[in-house]
Amino acid sequence: MAFHVRDIETDTLVRELARKRGVGLTEAVRLAVQHELERDATAIPLRERIAAFQEEVLRRPKTGLVADKAFFDDLSGDL
């Protein structure tokens, strides 16, 4: 199956990877695609990352301070 890369930057990157790994262009493309697919498979979904952050914030004790408009106006020098 033929695969033609018309983008100069992509061609340069594939050739650089092939040279550094000591492999052919086809193998360099295969390695790069395989690596990205593995990253996608092991990536934690954004929804889960946000949920973990929300849980961490909720575990912190309440300060009792009020962060209302007056607070932020004072913080910014009433700009």
Domain that holds residue 18: 8-75
Is 24 a member of any domain? yes
The verdict on residue 1 lying in a domain is no
Q: Is the dihedral of CA 39, 45, 50, 55 positive or negative?
A: negative
Whether the CB-CB separation of 14 and 5 falls below 8 Å is answered with yes
CA dist 28 and 30 (Å) reads: 5
The whole-angstrom separation of Cα 30 and Cα 21 is: 12
pLDDT tens-digit profile of 43-56? Answer: 999 999 999 999 99
- Whether 53 is in a domain gets the answer yes
> What does the alpha-carbon distance between residue 18 and residue 28 come to, in Å, rounded to a whole number?
5
Distance separating alpha carbons of residues 24 and 10, to the nearest angstrom: 15
State how many domains the chain has: 1
Asked whether residue 61 is assigned to any structural domain, the reply reads yes
Whether 3 is covered by a domain: the verdict is no
How does pLDDT run across 7-62, given as a tens digit for each residue? 999 999 999 999 999 999 999 999 999 999 999 999 999 999 999 999 999 999 98
Residue 2, domain member (yes or no): no
